[in-house]
A and B are shown apart, each in its own frame.
Chain A
């Protein structure tokens, strides 16, 4: 148990000081998925003890392409706190991150509690709003290299999020066009169909996975549904915008 606390402190400190660390699995090749989630929970507890507030969860590895890339057939999740939120239109401070990348996403706002095994219908009925979003992912591991337990322990690479205006979820979310542009040029293009065929499947998975850890999606929580395209590595000076058909747009600039 102490060992898990020590590892949680290590990833938390890496995130806090924007310092890259070696993979945990270098020294602990047998680190399992359950231990990895325990490390994540402990590292988030450290954040909450510093006064941060839990605001929801993020899903990762939600596209077939990413699952194949990592060699898994299950999505992963992480926890979000208020300290990770960047205002829409804000300037991101590059030096606060190790190697930040931006991914276009869809975010759900929960209107009702959701936990455990639910159907897609039940999941959507619990959603109050949906908005365009960008997640800033930042692996604290050197060279963005890690095994699955490493990334889970490292809060599934989550480090920042930008959220646009929420609109009614009563639209077909299964095939909305998505473009991430850098300085006005399209860089990453896709469709929400890349999220397991429909972003609602990501929400269903979120409800199931948080329940495994005795948690639930509460009214007011947000759920980041997962990256829709490949991530874009951020460089100082860039103006990065995500547009999603029918949902709107969000943007950030990348500062020093």
Chain B
């Protein structure tokens, strides 16, 4: 007799338990019924509802899998998205206990703050540019509740797009102050460059990635709103972090943002 496949609710609960205990779980892709992207987003949505009901404040979205390399690794043909909650936000210069994120890695991104709703049908790039009140350099600390980051599309999407925490820079800039496509990105750890890239690494243009997200959010009934923070996607490779690491991200035109990690995983 084959093992019973997990329902959406059961898979969602396994992930919540992994978040609470800090103990990663085995990949879900072979354990859930109808293991496809729709099911994975249903699992993510079940947890989003659970967490909002539990009092967490939804403050934005993250876009994941914005590079061709990551998409082919995960078996995706488009990016994915996850939810940002207020308790995931850190400030420039803060210290982060590594135990806060399961198997943490950092990546350099541009974060956008929306000054307008993006809730109409047939959104265009002009709507996105108009709605962005400011941009800041941001470090995303991604994590995975799936053991050894052994993830495919179903695993990462169900797991809130492997989100963890994010650190926002403290120099908000309008879009006119930098070049979102050609801006250089360098991330260093204790002064040593560990990742370099540019805006173009994010789907060719972080604004296009944000438009993709905005349209998707209208489609699924959770449209982007004034006041939302958007982590628009990695501009270069991921780097694992541990206690003692000091991570600094510089994005040309957007200044710098840094954080330090302490403690044991």
Residues of A within 8 A of B (CB): 64, 174-179, 186, 189-194, 197, 243-246
Contact = CB atoms under 8 A, between A and B. Distances in A.
B33 interface: no
A197 B193 CA distance: 7
B252 A177 contact: yes
Given A193-B186, A245-B179, A245-B184, A177 B200 contact: yes
B193 A177 contact: no
Interface in B137-186: 179, 181-186
Contacts of A186: 200-201, 204
A191 B200 contact: no
B28 interface: no
A177 B252 CA distance: 8
Contacts of B200: 177, 179, 186, 189
B198 interface: yes
A190 B193 contact: no
Given A189-B197, A189-B236, A190-B198, 4 more contacts: A177-B184, A177-B198, A178-B184, A190-B236
6 contacts: A177-B200, A189-B200, A190-B197, A191-B198, A193-B186, A193-B193
A178 B250 CA distance: 15
B196 A193 contact: yes
B199 interface: yes
Contact of B250 (A175, A179, A194, A244): A175
A174 B253 CA distance: 12
Interface residues of B, number: 19
B110 to A, nearest CB: 12
A191 to B, nearest CB: 4
A192 B182 contact: no
Nearest to A173: B184
Given A190-B197, A194-B196, A197-B193, A177 B183 contact: yes
**Which of B186, B199, B204 gathers the greatest number of chain A CB atoms within 10 Å?**
B186
Contacts of B196: 190-191, 193-194
Given A186-B204, A192-B184, A245 B193 contact: no
Contacts of B197: 177, 189-191
Interface in B201-234: 201, 204
Nearest to B178: A245
A189 B198 contact: yes
Contacts of A176: 182, 184, 252
B48 to A, nearest CB: 32
A178 B198 contact: yes
The 4 A-B pairs with the shortest beta carbon distances in the complex, nearest first, are A177-B198, A193-B186, A191-B184, A177-B184
Nearest to B179: A245
A17 B214 CA distance: 56
Contacts of A179: 182, 198, 200
B250 A177 contact: no
A233 B99 CA distance: 44
Given A193-B193, A194-B193, A245 B182 contact: yes
A177 B204 contact: no
